[in-house]
Amino acid sequence: MRKFECAFTESPEPPRTLVEATYLRLRRDIIEGRLAPGTKLRVEHLKDDYGIGAGTLREALSLLLSDALVVSEGQRGFYVSQTSLADLQDITRSRILLECQALRQSILEGDDDWEANLVAAYHKLDQMEKTQGNVNKTNAAEWEARNRHFHEALIGACTSRWLRYMIGLLYRQAERYRYLTIVHSARPRKVHDEHTAIYRAALARDVDAATRALERHIDANSSTVESLSGSSSGPAADDRSAGPHAAPSSRPENPAGWRAI
C-alpha cells in the first residue's frame, strides 16, 4: 500500500491491489460525506455496495484506521469518525504548524522545477476560480483536486517525507470539513485572493509573508466551518467536543451528514 504517495494527492497510477482500490474509494466516500460521521460500517452491507469480499473490505477499513477516518469500537465493529469543533480546531492548529514549516523549507530550498510546478498549479486553480466563482456541489470535486495540487506544489521542495505524509493526513481531514461547508452552503469567502497572496509571496521568496498568508488561509477555512455551528441550516451542535475517536452516537447513521459540529 503506497501510503506515503497517496496521503496528499490522488496517485496518477491505478491502484495496484483490490485492497488499495477499496481503501481509496472508501476514503473518498468518507471525505465527501457519502459515508456520514458516526455511520456504522457494516461489512455485510458494504461488501455488496462495493462489490468486494468481506476480507478485502476489512483490510481496507484497517488502513483507514491509521488515517483517523474510521474508528473501531471493540466487538461493535467499524464506524466513520465523528466530527466536532474541537477536532477541527486541533486539525487547524496542526496544519498551520506543519504546512508553514514545509512552505518555509520549500521557499528556501526550492529550485526552478519547484517554481515551475507552483506556477502551473496556481494557474489551473486561478483559471477555475476566476471563471466559476464560488465552489458549489457541481464543481466541488474539480476545484478540490486543483486546490490540493496547489497546496502540494507549495511544499513541493520539502524533503521530509514524514512531514509531507502528516500534512497529507491533516489535509484530508480538513477536506472532509470543507465538503460540509459546500453541502450546507456556507458564507462565501475570497478564497481566490487568499490563494493569490500565498502564491505571490512564495514566488517572491518572501518566507515571512508567505507563511503568514498561508496561516490566515488555513485559519479562515476553520472559521467558515465554525460559522455553520450556529446556523439553523447547518448541522446539529449537540457535541462540540467529540474528537475523531469519540464513541459512536446512539444514532450513528445520521442522514444529515455531520452530527458533531
In this structure, which amino acid lies at residue 46? L
Is the same domain home to 89 and 218? Answer: yes
Number of domains in the chain: 2
CATH classification at residue 194: 1.20.120.530
Q: Does 241 have pLDDT greater than 60? A: no
CATH classification at residue 49: 1.10.10.10
**Do the domain assignments include residue 217?**
yes
Last residue of a domain, one of 80, 105, 135: 80
**Do the domain assignments include residue 146?**
yes
**Do the domain assignments include residue 142?**
yes
Inter-residue contact 158 to 19 (CB < 8 Å):
no
In this structure, which amino acid lies at residue 157? A
Whole-structure pTM value = 0.81
Which residue range(s) make up the domain with 25?
Answer: 3-80
Average pLDDT over every residue of 40-53:
93
**Do the domain assignments include residue 251?**
no
Q: C-alpha cell of 20?
A: 488499495
Is the same domain home to 157 and 60? Answer: no
Residue-wise pLDDT for 51-75, tens only, equals: 999 999 999 999 999 899 999 987 7
Is the same domain home to 97 and 217? Answer: yes
Q: Is the dihedral of CA 107, 2, 46, 142 positive or negative?
A: positive
Is the same domain home to 190 and 109? Answer: yes
140 pLDDT band (50/70/90 cuts)?
Answer: confident
Is the same domain home to 56 and 130? Answer: no
pLDDT at 186: 55
Is the same domain home to 96 and 206? Answer: yes
Residue-wise pLDDT for 104-118, tens only, equals: 999 999 999 999 999
Is the same domain home to 39 and 57? Answer: yes
pLDDT at 179: 85
At a CB cut-off of 8 Å and minimum separation 6, what does 76 contact?
40, 248
Backbone angles phi, psi at 96, to 5 degrees: -60, -45
Last residue of a domain, one of 61, 80, 99: 80
Q: Is the dihedral of CA 252, 90, 224, 142 positive or negative?
A: negative
Characterise 178 by phi-psi region: left (phi > 0), alpha (psi -120 to 50), beta (else). Answer: alpha
